[in-house]
Each structure stands twice: as C-alpha cells, then as structure tokens.
Amino acid sequence: MADKLKLAYFLSGGCGGCDMAIVDLSETLIDVLPNLEVVFWAPTVADVKYKDLEAMPDKSIDLGLYSGMVRLGEQEHIAKVMRAKCKALVAWGACAALGGIPGMGNMHTKEEIFKTAYFDTYSTDNPDGIVPQTRCVVDGKYELTLPEFYDYVRPLNEVVDVDYYIGGCPPHHSFVGQAILAVLEGKLPPPGSWITGGKAVCDVCKRNPATEGEEREPITAVKRTIDGTPEEGKCVLQEGYLCLGPVTQGDCGALCPKVNIPCRGCGGPIPGVKDFGLRAIAAIAASLANEELVDQIPSPVKLFYRYSLPASMLGKKVK
C-alpha cells in the first residue's frame, strides 16, 4: 500500500511513558496499524538507526512524534533531523510540549546538578572527581564522545518549529487514539495548536460541585495528599488539596481526581493560557479564604510549574 501514513517516533529526554501510551491503545492500535508505516521509532520499538533517519529524503515522513524535552546535544540534533524529514511534527506529551518533570531541573544550574549526581549522592564513589566530558581519548587512540549536557532544559518548540502539541504525562490512551485518528482523517487544527478537547479537568470531573448544582466556597484549609483522605465524590480542591484542574486540559477525563489525587497539571494549559504556572497561581490564590493560607502552600514553584517550568515566561531560575 503506497498511501500508508509514514510515522516516525523519537523518545528524547522522556521516560518512555509516552511510548507506552501508544502501546496502551491495544486493540485500537491493531485497527490503526494497517494504515501506518513506522519508518523510525528509536530507541524503544524499531531497530532503525539515526543514520537511517538522516538518509531519508526531506519531508518524506507524514507524521513525527517527538516525546521528551531537549537537554542533550543528541536530542537537539534528532529534533532538527525530525523537523527536516517530517511534514508534521508533534510535541508528544508534557515533556516535549512544556518541559515536563525534568524541566524542574531548570531551578538548578548544570554545576549543581553535576555536583549532586556525581559527587554528593550517598551511593556515589568518585575520588578522581570525574564528570561527563563530550569527548575523551582512551589508550591514546580511541576517541569516545558523549552528547553535550546543556545548561537548561528546553521544550521542543525552542529548538525547532512545532506543528502540534499534545499534553499529558503520558497522554491518555483513549485520547491518543482520537489524536491519531484525527491525523489519519486529516481533521487537524491550524498548525501551532494543541490537539485537545479544549475542556478543563474540572469540566470533565465528576467531583465538580457544579455537577450537583452546588456553589464553590472559598477554600479554608491547605492540605497535602498525605493529610487524610478526601471525602467521597466531593471536590478535592474545595477540601484544600491544591488541585490544578481549573487551568489544566481535561483530555485525560479527570483521571487523578477520580482516585483522590489532585490534578498536577500534566495535560498542559487550557486554551488561551500562555504561562501555566502563573495562571494556576491566579486560580488557586483567588480561591483561598485568607492570606495566611497562601503561606502554607508547600514549595509553590515545583507545585505550579511541575510540568511547565521550561515553557514558562521566566523559563528557569533567574540567578
């Protein structure tokens, strides 16, 4: 079949969870597979090398999914190659779209990270003070190289142009199916958009007081998830568990609140929001009953920017 959709997938700085989200399609994937030709899926699924991808003609791949943020030179290189070879490039999942969990590393310098990873951790024994180098020569003749570790984490769109964004850590598999079908059928929003249902987590959450016709009251306590158990069927935010559902895209179907866990914002900002964390600050702070509660919020940067620090306006710690 000549008109199969050619798919390339690259797992960059992510954890592989987004790959799993595709595999989790299970039977749906079997329906879709006859229409797909996987030309590149590194390093997890297909045994295709970087040089094979580099040798493909430009714009020869219909769809490229790039999961994971960009921290290393290697990741940046493949991002550029993917951009050249793919007609449409998708930032697949929270890391590629926003920086993700590894993006919280932007609160620390490269030096701090190296010091912790290669010197300070309890299990590390490094008497010679060896840290990764981009190249070294072994036995005077073998040159070995490592990708450069950049100073900061970047989301994909700071390295190359991105056509579409999909949030989620990982994207929910039912939504993955919808997104792939949308691509197959050509029903895509304008380039540069998020592929999303456009609704907030609260909109699809069964705990939302509005579903019972109840009013939302000011929040009178700040709780962590270890403090007790939320009341069955009641809004977790209302009880003081800081849930970011009001500003997060609900393509997941409010999975976390369903199981008593407040939303942490992996789905990405609802349409129209540029800086997820700042909008979350506005939403949460304005819901609190008094100023004293604000000071009880633990570690606010890593709460509000858990998935989106590199894509935020400041992007990293200032100094």
Chain residues binding another protein by CB under 8 A are: 107, 158, 274-275, 277-279, 281-282, 284-286, 288, 290-291, 294-295, 297, 300-301, 304, 313-319
Place of tokens 């990764």: 132
Give me the least distance between CB of 57 and another protein, in Å please.
33
DSSP-derived pairing of the beta strands 135-138 and 36-42: unpaired
Those residues whose C-beta lies under 8 Å from the C-beta of residue 45, and which sit 6 or more positions away, are: 9, 19, 38
Give me the least distance between CB of 149 and another protein, in Å please.
17
DSSP string, 3-66: TPEEEEEEE-SS-SHHHHHHHTTTHHHHHHGGGEEEEEEETTT----HHHHHHSPTT-EEEEEE
Give me the least distance between CB of 150 and another protein, in Å please.
12
Determine the distance from the C-alpha atom of residue 210 to the mean position of all C-alpha atoms in its chain, rounded to a whole number: 29
Give me the least distance between CB of 75 and another protein, in Å please.
19
The C-alpha atoms of residue 273 and residue 175 are separated, in whole angstroms, by 21
Please say which residue, 21 or 303, places its beta carbon nearer to another protein: 303
Please say which residue, 159 or 180, places its beta carbon nearer to another protein: 159
Please say which residue, 137 or 318, places its beta carbon nearer to another protein: 318
Give me the least distance between CB of 158 and another protein, in Å please.
7
Residue 46 contacts residue 79 (beta carbons within 8 Å): no
Residue 101 contacts residue 14 (beta carbons within 8 Å): no
Please say which residue, 4 or 110, places its beta carbon nearer to another protein: 110
Please say which residue, 4 or 108, places its beta carbon nearer to another protein: 108
CA torsion, points 191, 194, 199, 200, in degrees to nearest 10? -150
Give me the least distance between CB of 67 and another protein, in Å please.
22
> 3-state class of 96 per DSSP?
helix
The C-alpha atoms of residue 240 and residue 225 are separated, in whole angstroms, by 10
Please say which residue, 85 or 264, places its beta carbon nearer to another protein: 264
Please say which residue, 51 or 319, places its beta carbon nearer to another protein: 319
Give me the least distance between CB of 84 and another protein, in Å please.
24
The tokens for 93 are 């999942």
